[in-house]
């Protein structure tokens, strides 16, 4: 086979050419690629994680639980902050770049027309097969009906809380959005769901009943649970509870003990995702920070609840967002909760970004506030440091978009690696 790629840089350039934000909702292309490699039914147990908020955390918790019980485990998540290798991990470690090159050359035999996300989904499965994983946890991208992760058979499905998001692709109402995600139920494989809004709960129940799939309700972990995760915030108790409920159904498939409390505790405590209520100690280059990827009203509500419970009072906030999100609601929720502290809105280096000037104007018009548009993230951090000098014990909050956090982690990539973090949660 003639090599298409000779380096990881060439793989990255090819991915960039596919367009990170190009979406073409259908399953035909990815199913043809999977069929070409005979991996529509992979040689490992597969879990698909769907929902709106908490997918990445739940998938990370579940993968960590599998690893803690001695299972070689693949984890596929999105988006990434610094390198696409963050999306494909085995036992918590990104698959090395040289392995990407060899697998990518193999994939190009059957990659015609695949979108960015489809291409990476098939690549992840090929790498997991090469690594001999026993279980693979696949986080869905957008929706469920036509998501690339739905092209592969699943042995178990997990639904995190479903809320309104991606309306331009999935539908204007919660019921339409939940119906699209619930359409991923495609067999009698067990379904485990976190507590849902009534419309979403009905969609999941109807989809499970139509496929004769057993449906199980997951409970959030209690504040006093000995299995408390290290990832901070009450919403992580929901995600960890869902992952734990899923593990109990997954364990028999992997011939593992379902109720080994010691291994469960290790699994939940070992799970980490950057940018989820992540506390970062300040340096000469940036102030003490609290990083969180809340990017829609449901996520913002979880962030604000977490700040209240932990009695955290940010000195100021750096907020930026994508134009196709409900950023007005999120920004106004944040402003009302945090009071009249300064807000800085940097211009994101992203074609989908909302105008920083427009976001600042809306906040200043609808609320009596001090919101200032700035040129970039570096300028926002500099302005925030100057304000924070008045209240040195309070962190600066960075939130509103995972792509804002991506720009921060691109500047300081070591902070996205758990082993190097002096402190990674509130």
| pLDDT (mean) for 130-147 | 95
Three-state SS string over 296-309 comes to CHHHHHHHHHHHHH
CATH 3.30.365.10 applies to domain 8-270: no
| pLDDT (mean) for 40-68 | 96
**How far apart, in whole angstroms, are the C-alpha atoms of residue 66 and residue 78?**
19
CATH of domain 278-420: 3.90.190.20
Residue 28 has a CB neighbour count (10 Å cut-off) of 11
What single string gives the DSSP state of each residue in 173-212? SHHHHHHHHHTT--SS--EEE----HHHHHHHHHHHHHTT
Residue 262 has a CB neighbour count (10 Å cut-off) of 8
pLDDT at residue 1 tops 60: no
pLDDT at 325: 82
Tokens (6 digits) for 379: 């300028």
pLDDT at residue 425 tops 50: no
pLDDT at residue 140 tops 50: yes
**How far apart, in whole angstroms, are the C-alpha atoms of residue 400 and residue 384?**
16
pLDDT at 391: 54
| Average pLDDT over the chain, rounded to an integer | 90
pLDDT at residue 315 tops 70: yes
Q: Considering only CA atoms, which of 155, 150, 106, 96 is closest in space to residue 126?
A: 106
| pLDDT (mean) for 45-63 | 96
Instruction: Answer yes or no: are the C-beta atoms of 157 and 190 closer than 8 Å.
Output: yes
pLDDT tens figures, 265-288: 999 999 988 999 999 998 888 889
How many angstroms separate the Cα of 399 from the Cα of each of 61, 237, 276, 287, 346?
22, 21, 10, 15, 11
Helix (H, G, I), strand (E, B) or coil at 314: coil
pTM for this model (two decimals): 0.91
What single string gives the DSSP state of each residue in 330-352? HHHHHHHHH-S--EEEEPPSSTT
pLDDT tens figures, 166-204: 666 777 799 999 999 999 999 999 999 999 999 999 999
Tokens (6 digits) for 290: 């609290």
Apex 259 CA angle, 253 and 264, nearest 5? 95
Please tell me whether the peptide bond between 79 and the residue prior to it is cis, using omega within 30 degrees of 0: yes
Domains 8-270 and 278-420 belong to one CATH topology:
no
pLDDT at residue 321 tops 60: yes
Least confident of 142-151, 202-211, 367-376: 367-376
pLDDT at 323: 87
pLDDT at 164: 79
| pLDDT (mean) for 106-129 | 93
Helices and strands counted in the chain (H then E) = 15, 14
Q: Where are the domains of the chain?
A: 8-270, 278-420
The alpha carbon dihedral of 112, 117, 121, 126 has a sign of: positive
pLDDT at residue 327 tops 50: yes
pLDDT at 421: 39
Instruction: Answer yes or no: are the C-beta atoms of 34 and 125 closer than 8 Å.
Output: yes
pLDDT at 341: 87
């Amino acid at each position: 086979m003639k090599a298409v790629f000779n380096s990881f840089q060439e793989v990255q350039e090819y991915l960039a050419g596919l367009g990170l934000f190009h979406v073409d909702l259908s399953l035909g292309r990815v199913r043809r690629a999977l069929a070409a490699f005979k991996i529509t039914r992979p040689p490992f147990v597969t879990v698909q994680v769907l929902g709106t908020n908490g997918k990445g955390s739940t998938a990370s918790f579940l993968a960590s639980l599998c690893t803690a019980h001695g299972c070689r485990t693949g984890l596929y998540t999105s988006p990434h902050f610094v390198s696409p290798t963050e999306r494909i991990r085995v036992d918590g470690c990104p698959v090395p770049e040289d392995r990407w090159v060899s697998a990518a050359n193999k994939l190009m035999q059957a990659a015609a027309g695949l979108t960015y996300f489809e291409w990476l989904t098939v690549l992840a499965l090929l790498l997991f097969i090469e690594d001999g994983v026993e279980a693979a946890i696949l986080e869905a991208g957008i929706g469920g009906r036509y998501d690339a992760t739905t092209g592969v058979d699943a042995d178990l499905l997990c639904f995190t809380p479903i809320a309104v998001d991606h309306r331009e692709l999935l539908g204007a109402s919660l019921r339409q959005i939940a119906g699209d995600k619930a359409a991923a139920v495609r067999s009698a494989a067990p379904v485990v769901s976190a507590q849902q809004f009534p419309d979403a709960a009905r969609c999941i129940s109807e989809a499970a009943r139509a496929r004769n799939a057993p449906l199980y309700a997951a409970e959030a972990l209690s504040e006093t649970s000995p299995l408390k995760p290290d990832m901070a915030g009450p919403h992580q108790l929901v995600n960890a509870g869902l992952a734990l409920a899923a593990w109990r159904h997954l364990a028999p498939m992997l011939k593992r003990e379902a109720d080994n409390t010691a291994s469960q505790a290790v699994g939940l405590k070992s799970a980490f995702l950057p940018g989820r209520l992540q506390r970062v100690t300040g340096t000469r280059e940036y102030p003490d920070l609290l990083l969180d990827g809340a990017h829609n009203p449901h996520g913002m509500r979880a962030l604000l609840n977490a700040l209240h419970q932990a009695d955290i009072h940010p000195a100021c906030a750096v907020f930026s967002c994508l134009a196709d999100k409900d950023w007005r609601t999120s920004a106004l929720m944040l402003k009302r909760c945090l009071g009249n502290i300064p807000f800085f809105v940097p211009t994101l280096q992203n074609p989908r970004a909302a105008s920083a000037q427009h976001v600042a104007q809306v906040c200043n018009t609808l609320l009596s506030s001090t919101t200032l548009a700035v040129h970039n993230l570096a300028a926002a951090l500099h302005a925030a440091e100057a304000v924070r000098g008045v209240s040195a014990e309070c962190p600066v909050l960075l939130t509103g978009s995972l792509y804002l956090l991506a720009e921060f982690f691109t500047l300081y990539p070591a902070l996205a690696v758990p082993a190097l973090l002096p402190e990674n949660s509130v």
